[in-house]
Amino acid sequence: MTSPHTIAVLGLGRMGDASATRLTSKGWDVIGWTRSGRTSGAVEMAEDPQEAVATQSC
């Protein structure tokens, strides 16, 4: 990618966490949110879904 992008991933269960981790490995900045609070630690977390969406730049 030629320019930085930030994307929000809401719901970091098995699929959401895997997607967020993959996007991070490809150079994307990912802001995540999950209701359960459990994550693998691969992405930056937001306090609530509105905060996560407000920070995305895509």
Q: Is residue 51 part of a domain?
A: yes
Give pLDDT, residue 20: 92
Q: Is residue 45 part of a domain?
A: yes
Q: Is residue 41 part of a domain?
A: yes
Give pLDDT, residue 5: 81
Structure tokens at 6: 């930030």
Give pLDDT, residue 2: 46
Give pLDDT, residue 1: 45
pLDDT tens over the chain, length 58 residues: 444 688 999 999 889 999 999 999 998 999 999 998 777 788 899 999 999 888 876 5
Q: Is residue 42 part of a domain?
A: yes
* First-residue to last-residue Cα distance in the chain: 13
d(CA 28, CA 8): 10
Q: Which of 47, 51, 56, 54 is closest to 23 using CA atoms?
A: 56
Domain that holds residue 23: 6-55
Give pLDDT, residue 58: 59
Number of domain units in the chain = 1
Q: Is residue 1 part of a domain?
A: no
